[in-house]
Structure formats: C-alpha cells, structure tokens
Structure 1
Amino acid sequence: MPIRRLPPEAVNRIAAGEVIERPAAAVKELVENALDAGARRIVVRIGRGGLGLISIEDDGSGIPRDELPLAVERHATSKLTASSAGDVDLLNIHTMGFRGEALPSIGAVARLEITSKARGVADTWAINVEGGALEAVKPAAWATLSESGTRVEVRDLFFATPARLKFMKSERAEMMAVSDVVKRLAMARPDVAFSLEHDGRMSLRLAAENDPENEGRRSRLAAILGADFAPNCILLDQTRDTVRLSGFAGLPTFHRGTREHQHLFVNGRPVKDKLIVGAVRAAYQDLLARDRHPVAALFLDLPPDEVDVNVHPAKTEVRFRDAALVRGLIVGALSHALAGAGHRASTTTAQSALGAVRAYEAPQPFLRPAAQAWAVAEERLASGDFMMPSGRVEEAPAGFAAAISRVDLEAAIQTATNQDPEDARFFPLGAARAQIHETYIVAQTEDGIVIVDQHAAHERLVYERMKQMLANGGVRRQGLLIPEVVELDPSEADALGARAEELAQLGLVIEPFGPGAILVRETPALLGHVDAAGMLKDLADDIAELGEAHALKERLEEVCSSMACRGSVRAGRRLTGDEMNSLLRQMEATPFSGQCNHGRPTYVELKLADIEKLFGRR
C-alpha cells in the first residue's frame, strides 16, 4: 500500500487518544496549565463524570487576545523558549508540562471554549473549537472578581470519536478518577486553593495554606488523606547531594490495605513510579504485615536536568538519572525517621479501643462456682504449660531459639538515680500498676493509662536484638555438599550475577555458570534446607520489578521473627513489678517497639480525658 499523509483532523484525534484517554486526563492537563499560569485559586466543575462538562477556572495571568489561536495549535506552548540558534532545552523544565498538545487534543474530540482576561488588559476574549474546527476570537464577559484569569469549558467529551465513549466507565467511576487527580495536584500545591463540584454539589473545598513547606503541607495532606493522618505521621526532611526529600510518612501502626495512599511528587509534579513501591517496602519491611501498606506523601526536589519528565505522553512517569541515589535517599530517610519515632504508636488504636468500649453491651451475669474456678487454676499450675490467647497450649521454648532470643527482664534499664521507677511522670509509657489475665500490663502515665501486650512487646525487643546480632556478625552460611546449578533466563542470570556481592552479605554465595545458569555454593544457615531454584527466581523477579533483591532478606527476617516469637515472654506468664517496669523501659529505648513483628500494636494508650468521657465526667 502507498504511504500517505494523514489529514490534520485525523492527526489531532490520534494525538488526543494518547494524551486525553478519559475525563480525568483532561482535568489534569487543564489544572496543570492553570498552575503554570500562576493561579492561586482553581475551581473545577464537573458534569456527568466529566463526559458532559469539564470547567476549569483560575485567577492566573490569563491569555492575551492574539495568543488565543496559538493556544489551540499543536506543539505551541508558553513553557519553552528557543535560543537564538533555534535550539530548545528539553531537560531544563521548571513547569508542570510543556508538550503543547493538551488544548488542541481536547478541541479535536470535544466542544472547547476558552475565555481569558490577560493581566493588565481591560477586555476579555474567547475562542471556540468544535471537533477540531477553529472559530474566530470574539469578545466575552468576565464575571469573576479576579483581575485576570482563564476559564476553560469542555463539553461533550469524545463526541467526535463515538467509539471511545464505549470504553468509558460509569459516571461515578470517572468522577472518582477526576477527584483523585485533583486531590493529587492539591497535595502538591498547598499554597493554592482548590474546589471541586460535581453536578452542582461541592465535593472538595481546600483553602490555600500559608506555610506550604511544614504545617501547611501537613494540614493539606490531612484534609485529603484523612484527619487521622496528621497526628499519626512523622516528618521527613533529608538531602543527599543535590536531591532533597521532604514530606510525611505514617507510623507503622497507621496502615491501609492497598498502596493507593502512597504518593510521590517530583519537583511539584505528582507521578506514579515503581521506585516508591520498592523503597517504601524496604523501609517498612519488618514493621508491617505483608497485606498491609503504609501511608506516605514524599516530595522530591532535584535539579531539572537530573530527571526526565517527558518519558510518558500523559506525564505520569519520570526517569531519574541516578535512580540508585534517589532510592537510597528514600529508604534511608524513612528508616531514620521510623527509628526516631521509637515506641510511638498510632492514635487510631486508642480510638478503636474506646469505640469498642462504647459499643459494648454487658452480658447477663454469670458466676462460675468457686470450686470449679479453683480446680481449673490448680490444673493449669500443675501442668506447667502456658495458655495462649487462641486457646492453644504450647510448651515453653527450648534450644537455640530460646537461647539466642532470651532477654533478662529482671535486669532493668539504667535510669537516673533521682527518678523513682514507680513515678509515672518520668516515663512516656508510665509505671506498671497491674498485670491482668497474665497477658496485659496496665501502666499509669502522667495523663492516662497504657495497656501493653507483654508477648507482642517482648517479641519486638527480642527481634531488634537479633537483627543487631545479624548485622554485627553477618549471616552464617552453610556450604552445599554438591553445588546446585539453576537454569534461568540469561537476562535474569546476568542481573543476579551483578548482585553476587550483595547476596553474599546475606549468606547466599552464587557465581555465573555459563549463559543463563547460576551456581549456588552456599546458603544462609538460618534457613536450613533451601529450594535454591525457587529462591533465585524470586530474587530475579524482585530485581526486575523493584531493582532490589528483597526476597532473601525477607526470608531471613521472617525466620528471625519466628524465632523471636517463640523465644519471647508468653501470654500467661506472671510478671513481677520489676519485670513489668523493665519491659516498659526497654520499649521506650527500642526503635519500632510500638508494633510487633507482624504489624500489630504492642500497646494502647488511653488519655484520662477520654476515660472520663466514658463515665460521663466530661
């Protein structure tokens, strides 16, 4: 078939398919244009999920009359400048976008009207584009109070391409996607006021924050991620070379069921990148259960020439020149901040506890005969076993696991000589007052009480001690009598071979064995018998997806966690007052002690004011 040039209308519609795939994409492009125009107030109005109406109004600098026709031409933009030689620097980008395709792409598939009042100009002008057909510039009215700005109205999106309408989701689903886009952009710019209306109903209203770097950013994030985020997050602010990471990350006990609440912003641009998935997973890897995910909003600032923002037509992905540095910064900053949080736990745990108390209905009184109660107690004492909360009876642990993980609770942490260990004022977790059901420690703090799960708390203490031992002494290896050859894809084998030194530090010694094969000589002793082929395939998948060999490290930590669980203080063991206070003091001095190795909270703190409300005193 002969090669022919496509007509301009077809070219524009093809471009629209790349850039404007759904209403949310159009909203994203238009709001980014408003931000680049210096807007401090942006109003988004949506009708029928964005398929009927998209209206974006801002108070930015506006578009002069003679530039309105250029605004709807392909590859025309105000965000790039050419040198005297005609060269354009595509690496030094300081705006949200610069392709110059959004407005003409929207105009090619919808009915587009742009009304604008340029700063310092008395008149207001408008231009219309319908299905790619451009009309003449005409006078218009500017009814808002701002001195300048632009209003872009998009009606009947995809009316010129009916086939695309068949692939749109429900109006509710499209509106949720629009809301997600607006929220992400609002998180990136706390200094800008945002409002979002859907079919005449206000669904989001955010005032501009005066302090967009610190508390203002925290307030904006809390308004979007939920009011619980502000008291349950930790501040991040670290710099490495020319890259700065700031933002907030949730405590390990403040988590969600999906990764949708993890946000990354690069130079003020919200992006979705697998880099954050691997980095956040590495930082929280032994603090959360596998099916739970932390909440985080991370802001990266780096020189524009260190990141390529033009790798995706919709500008949702970026590529870093030094991805290893960025990933190391994220992991290091998160790990340092989480360690600094110490024993701090989420306030939502206490709120859940108080909610359970309020919802509790007293059962009918039931008194077990005293003789029966004494018989059960004598039987348990005579057996020497420990009763777990689940009802299972387990014998006291013995052997290597118990020996390596034993922590002497009778040796209390050294404290100042002028501090009474029974005085709750001196300690964040207070002073132990009682042990109930031989499982929970009740401590009195200066302004409330703390209830500690003694097994979960001690499990974390033992686990942290074991991790430190592994870090100081390295991972012991066991040599295979007959080295095992594992066949892999050549690219996977090359990736594993390049990380042989890193894997050796974790106890796995490998070496290349011809094209597409890896020879396994030694494996970590802690893991016992190892399926070498399965492990190497898991490691290769980790490296391909996340750029890091997580599987082996997670296996080692899983074994340590299991050993710590077996070797820690059991529920059902009676503790003395000194032992209980010693456990509390060690928790205060141990990082991550607010949650056990499985991500469950180790303690619940109830403030006195909340307790008084339960009894009607407030």
Structure 2
Amino acid sequence: MNQMENARRPIQVLSPRLANQIAAGEVVERPASVLKELVENCLDAGADQIDIELEAGGVKLLRVRDNGCGIDPEDLPLALARHATSKILTLDDLEGVASLGFRGEALASISSVSRLELITSTDDSGKGWRVVAEGRDMQPQVTPAPHPQGTSLIVRDLFFNTPARRKFLRTERTEFSHLEEVFRRLALSRPDVGFSLKHQGKLVHQLPAVTADQDAAAAQDASMQRIARLLGREFMDQSLVVDSEASGIRLHGWVGLPVYARAQADRQYFFVNGRVVRDKLVAHAIRQAYQDVLFGGRHPVFVLHLEVDPQVVDVNVHPTKHEVRFRDGRWVHDFIFSALHKRLSGALIGSEKQPVTPATYPQASQPSAGVAPPQVQEQGALSWSMPSSLSSTSPSASDNAGGFSGAAATAFGAGNGRPSAQGNGETLAFYQRLAADSAPPSASEVPPLGYALGQLQGIYILAQNSHGLVVVDMHAAHERITYERLKKDWLQRPLVAQPLLVPEPLSVDESMAEVAAEQAELLADLGVQLDVIGPQEVVIRSMPVLLQGANANAMVFSLLQELKRFGTASSIENSIHEVLATIACHGSVRAGRQLTLPEMNALLRDMEVTERSDQCNHGRPTWFQLSMQDLDKLFLRGR
C-alpha cells in the first residue's frame, strides 16, 4: 500500500489490546521492567515482605508476592484496566505524588504482552480472588481463589503474542543480570522491607527487613549488612556515612572513598523519597563534590537517599519515572554538593573515617607512647640530612606556593622552601627532647600518621603509627596541602579581572542572553564582564587574570550554559582550580629531594589537618597504611 492510500484510511478507535500493546512499548522493555513495576505496586500497598521467583531470566515465569493490603473484590475488574488507579484522584494529588506508581498503565500494558494473573486477599481468612484479562477487548474475568493477605502477580510467557518484541531479548543470563540489578535498586531503596529472590528454584538473595523496634545503632548495622550483601563488603569498608539536613531536606546514606572509585558508573544509587532516579542535576552535584579527589576517568560509588517534601519535586516528567524535576533545582544542587563536599573534605583514612580537626591531635609538647619520634642524629646508619643545595624546582620566596603551612613552615623556615637555621634548630631540639622523655603517655595520643622513620629513594616517607607502617608519597601530599591553601587564598579575595584589548562578540540563544543580564553581578565577581547588545549576542569585555590566554568564547559559552541549567558557575571555578593545581604541582617539594626528620614530621602533621589530604590534586592516593597484621602475613609470622 502506498503512502497516499494509507493516508486515506478512515480514522478508527484502537482496540484496547492494541492500545495497551503500544503503551507497553514505553513501560515494558524487558523482564526487568516488569519486575520494577510489580514490586513498586507491592511497596505502594504497604508490604513489608516481598518474595520474587523467576524462571528462564523472567521470560517464562515472573512471580511477585507481597503481604500488603490487598485489593477489594469490587475493585478487581478495574485492576487490569488502563488509566485506572487508586493513588491519585485530583490534580492536587498529582502535584504531590508520594507513591511510586500513579498512572495506572503498568498492569494493563504487561497483561497485553503476557499471560498475567492476579490473586489477592484483603484479610488473613485465606479467602481470595483471582483476575485475568482475556480476549481482544481484554475483558477481566474474576473468580474465587485461596490466598493469604496480600497479592500475588504471576507473569508467564512474556511477549508470547508479540514475537518482534521477543526477538530483542538477550540470553537468559543477560536478562537475569538486568533483573538482579532492578532487585538491587529496589532493595536498597527500602531497607524496612524484607526481600527474597529465587531463580530456577535457587535462592539468590534473602534480605531481612530493618524493623521499627530496632534502636538507631542496630538499624544502621542492619542497613549496612544489606548493602554489604548487595554490593560487597568492600563497599562498606571503603565508604563514609553521610547524614545532612537543612530547611526540610535531608541527605543520608553512604559515599565511597575516592580511592574506591570505579572505571564505570555501575555502583551509583540515588533515591528521592524512596524512588530510584537518574537525574542530571543530582549527577552534576555529586561529580562536583568529587572533582578534586578522583583520578581521571574514574566514577564514585554511593548509595544516597534524598528526602524532600513531595510538593517540591515533580515525578511526572518521564514515562519510566527515572527523572524528576525539583521546584528549586539550584537549592537542591547546592545542598547535595555542600553535604558531600564537606564530608569528603573531612575524611581521613586511619581515623575511623570521621571528620578531623586540628584539635584531634596531640599538642607539640606532648610525647607519645610506643611510637615516639626517632632521635635525630647528625651521623649514623639512620640519619637523614638536608643536602647543601635544594632542587631547582623548589618554590621561591616570591610565590610562597610551595611553602609548608603550619608546623611545616616552622621546620622549613619562613615558608620559602629552605630550612632556616633558627626554624630547623628549634624543631631539631624539640624532637630530641621528645626522644629523651622517659614518661610517655597513652598510645591513643599518637597522631594518625605517626612519626617519620626515614625516606625511601627520595620519594616516599616511611612513618610508624599505632597501627603499623605508613607510606607517604611526599610530593603528592605536599601538592594537596599547597593546592588547598591556594584555594582558600583565592576565596578570601575578589577575583581580579583583566580587560580584553579587543572585546570579543559571542552568539548565544535568547535564554542565555537573559542569564547574562540577570547574573551580571555574579559574573563580575568571577572576573567576567559581559554586555548584552542584542537578543542573541553578548560582548566579552574582561576575563579573570588567572585565565589569561584561555579561549574566552568557549569559556563564557560554557559558563552561561551552566548558569542556565544548574544555576551555578562551576565551569569557570573548575578552570581556575586547574590553574591553581598546576601552580601547586610546580610549587611542591619534588621527588628526589632529601628531607630531614623534622621536615617529614611537619609534613605529616600538615596532612592530618588538611582537607582531602588522602588524594593529590590528580586523584592519586597520597599515603597507605600497612597494619602489623598485614606485615605479619607478608612474613608468615604466627603460622
């Protein structure tokens, strides 16, 4: 039939089954899509135990059983009807949806491409009802059937009547992997619900619920046990607890340490009011929080729950409900970024992964038991002396970018990278007094990174703490210290602008031109001056001095895009941070340079009070801990 003849066909109403099969194209992609819809219905029904059975990767059989409220017999004829739901009645309900499902399309769509039956009971009498949709018009057939309180949904022979769709399914193993991932997301979203999963009659997962009668510590432990079962024990060992709340919004869960980042984004779970989402605004905020601590091309891991008023989040923006829209996206973005940035900034491996402050560590006048600083000697097998001339790459007095701060500045002198006679002499005498003290206090006063023993090949500092051996990459560690100080200095003063000799025109769309006019004050604070000369054109008149020589057009275009999309100006901040990171790299102590013990200890103390000191500016780790147990295993001690 040609196009003209096809166009002259009369307009007809689609049959219910065909309409449902078309809708199934949006709702039902594979067995995993079916599982998601069915389990979400169970959760909306108030179930606290959900059992799932699969055969042949969910294609042959997919059974979901819950102990929820069940469905009244008089409502069963509508249970499999399209656009029939008990979850919303008015527009006001839609604007504040608190349930996971609300459109009333899932069961109708699933039943149109499979053999589906629903058995339910609203009490524990054992009496229930069974409903199926049969025939071209999908007329519901309701019959009595025994069933405990709750609902069972049985889906058989998925896509049996749509062979073209069935051809797109993958192998049984692949389909089961997708099913297990959906199960994992749903189980992580609701720790208060028990879950079980069987495949081919074999129990794959058995997850008990976190009950309301457990105290806070027991509940958190039970939640951690569930995450460990689903994501592995290593995830929990390498994660930080997050719990932050402000103005009616709360973020809680676990974020992985930067050293545990993965090559792909396969361990990222974010939930908004219990709903699994993949939101670009959320992803941007998390990526920004990890920006300074991730190695190139790596992805962070996290299980995070965001709790907000349902009235301020719109979940009706995508057929699969994976995306959401926040009423104040910028506030949500900034809150998520701030909470994670603060938590990652305070993390220090070796101190129970808790935020650290300078007050955590012993005062300089206190010696430590068991791990006292080694006595500094001018001669001997374990003496470490400063060479007469330092590397030519050492920082100069003019930039001071590479000078140690705090304790390290004393050991090095006046922050110029060279030890002064007075500073080095005072520190030397201090460590000699510590070593000579015969009344050491408790071992709990040993600093987390301990005291330096010496240097290896001019690259690594070896230190001893209460746990065992600490190995520090001195250049990477000092680079982080310098970089963090430069960032603080930059934030404490206005950004200096450099007028362009020849103003550069930039073509933009109307919305970006409006952003340029509305955010003129913010742009000026960043050293960027723009003039809007038309509905789709602006002129760049100045750029930050730190970005002198950068591509102004590309930078400003990216900046306006971010302001329009996220309400933040992170692109220019990122570029400035890249410049500061380069300065820090070139201004830090270089590999191959010999340090004295006081200098090494000063660097360790600075690391302990510097944010993000676990990674250098490029995301590489700055230090590792080898416990006594680790060393005993290496030398086969105790066997």
Instruction: Return the TM-score normalized by structure 2.
Output: 0.82
Q: How far apart in 2 are the matches of 1:560 and 1:241?
A: 34
How far residue 131 of structure 1 moved from its aligned partner, in angstroms, is 6.6
**Which of the numbers 456, 478, 490 marks the counterpart of 1:470?**
490
User: Conserved in 1, the CA contact under 8 Å of 2:390 and 2:593?
Assistant: no
Partner SS state of residue 322, structure 2: coil
**Which of the numbers 129, 132, 136 marks the counterpart of 1:128?**
132
**Which of the numbers 228, 237, 240 marks the counterpart of 1:234?**
240
Q: Which amino acid aligns with 1:95?
A: S
Q: How far apart in 2 are the matches of 1:562 and 1:586?
A: 20
Q: Percent identity?
A: 43
Q: Residue deviations 1:496-548, cap 9 Å, x none?
A: 44433333323222232323222111112122212112222333454566554
Q: Which amino acid aligns with 1:589?
A: V
Q: How far apart in 1 are the matches of 2:492 and 2:402?
A: 16
Q: Residue deviations 1:376-419, cap 9 Å, x none?
A: xxxxx89x786xxxxxxxx425668853332263515999x999
2:530 is equivalent to residue 510 of structure 1: yes
Q: How does 1:18-97 map to 2 (within 5 A)?
A: 18-80=26-88, 89-97=93-101
2:215 is equivalent to residue 222 of structure 1: no
| Residue 67 to residue 405, structure 1, CA distance change in 2 (3 Å) | same
User: Conserved in 2, the CA contact under 8 Å of 1:421 and 1:431?
Assistant: no
How far residue 125 of structure 1 moved from its aligned partner, in angstroms, is 2.6
Between stretches 178-187 and 506-515, larger displacement belongs to 506-515
Q: Which amino acid aligns with 1:139?
A: P
Between stretches 280-289 and 423-432, larger displacement belongs to 423-432
Q: How far apart in 2 are the matches of 1:172 and 1:111?
A: 22
2:145 is equivalent to residue 148 of structure 1: no
Q: How far apart in 1 are the matches of 2:349 and 2:494?
A: 26
Q: Which residue of 2 aligns with 1:176?
A: 177
User: Conserved in 1, the CA contact under 8 Å of 2:395 and 2:401?
Assistant: no
How far residue 222 of structure 1 moved from its aligned partner, in angstroms, is 2.8
Q: Which residue of 1 aligns with 2:142?
A: 137
User: Conserved in 1, the CA contact under 8 Å of 2:395 and 2:588?
Assistant: no
Q: Residue deviations 1:328-375, cap 9 Å, x none?
A: 11011111212222466999xxxxxxxxxxxxxxxxxxxxxxxxxxxx
Q: How does 1:243-322 map to 2 (within 5 A)?
A: 243-322=249-328
How far residue 556 of structure 1 moved from its aligned partner, in angstroms, is 0.9
User: Conserved in 2, the CA contact under 8 Å of 1:343 and 1:588?
Assistant: no
Q: How far apart in 1 are the matches of 2:246 and 2:339?
A: 10
2:404 is equivalent to residue 407 of structure 1: yes
Instruction: Return the TM-score normalized by structure 1.
Output: 0.85
User: Conserved in 1, the CA contact under 8 Å of 2:134 and 2:141?
Assistant: no
How far residue 236 of structure 1 moved from its aligned partner, in angstroms, is 1.9
Q: Which residue of 2 aligns with 1:580?
A: 600
User: Conserved in 2, the CA contact under 8 Å of 1:343 and 1:591?
Assistant: no
Q: Which residue of 2 aligns with 1:354?
A: none
User: Conserved in 1, the CA contact under 8 Å of 2:403 and 2:409?
Assistant: no
Q: How far apart in 1 are the matches of 2:351 and 2:533?
A: 49
| Residue 6 to residue 234, structure 1, CA distance change in 2 (3 Å) | same
Q: Which residue of 2 aligns with 1:185?
A: 186
2:115 is equivalent to residue 107 of structure 1: no
2:22 is equivalent to residue 14 of structure 1: yes
Number of aligned residue pairs: 567
Q: Residue deviations 1:145-183, cap 9 Å, x none?
A: xx4222211111122323322333443333222222111
| Residue 90 to residue 577, structure 1, CA distance change in 2 (3 Å) | same
| Residue 214 to residue 329, structure 1, CA distance change in 2 (3 Å) | farther
User: Conserved in 2, the CA contact under 8 Å of 1:253 and 1:345?
Assistant: no
| Residue 293 to residue 542, structure 1, CA distance change in 2 (3 Å) | farther
Q: How far apart in 1 are the matches of 2:398 and 2:583?
A: 5
How far residue 602 of structure 1 moved from its aligned partner, in angstroms, is 0.5
| Residue 345 to residue 515, structure 1, CA distance change in 2 (3 Å) | farther
User: Conserved in 2, the CA contact under 8 Å of 1:131 and 1:160?
Assistant: no
**Which of the numbers 114, 123, 131 marks the counterpart of 1:119?**
123
Q: Which amino acid aligns with 2:594?
A: R
Q: Residue deviations 1:109-162, cap 9 Å, x none?
A: 1100112233233313322234763453233344xxxx4222211111122323
User: Conserved in 1, the CA contact under 8 Å of 2:50 and 2:195?
Assistant: yes
User: Conserved in 2, the CA contact under 8 Å of 1:485 and 1:513?
Assistant: no
| Residue 421 to residue 500, structure 1, CA distance change in 2 (3 Å) | farther
For structure 1, list consecutive stretches of 5 or more residues without a partner in the other structure. 348-380, 387-394
Q: How far apart in 1 are the matches of 2:287 and 2:81?
A: 44
How far residue 10 of structure 1 moved from its aligned partner, in angstroms, is 2.0
For structure 2, list consecutive stretches of 5 or more residues without a partner in the other structure. 1-7, 354-386, 413-425
Q: How far apart in 2 are the matches of 1:551 and 1:191?
A: 40
How far residue 421 of structure 1 moved from its aligned partner, in angstroms, is 6.0
Q: Which residue of 2 aligns with 1:454?
A: 474
How far residue 88 of structure 1 moved from its aligned partner, in angstroms, is 6.3
| Residue 301 to residue 525, structure 1, CA distance change in 2 (3 Å) | same
User: Conserved in 2, the CA contact under 8 Å of 1:542 and 1:549?
Assistant: yes
Q: Which residue of 1 aligns with 2:168?
A: 167
Q: Residue deviations 1:52-84, cap 9 Å, x none?
A: 2211122222234333322112222232357xx
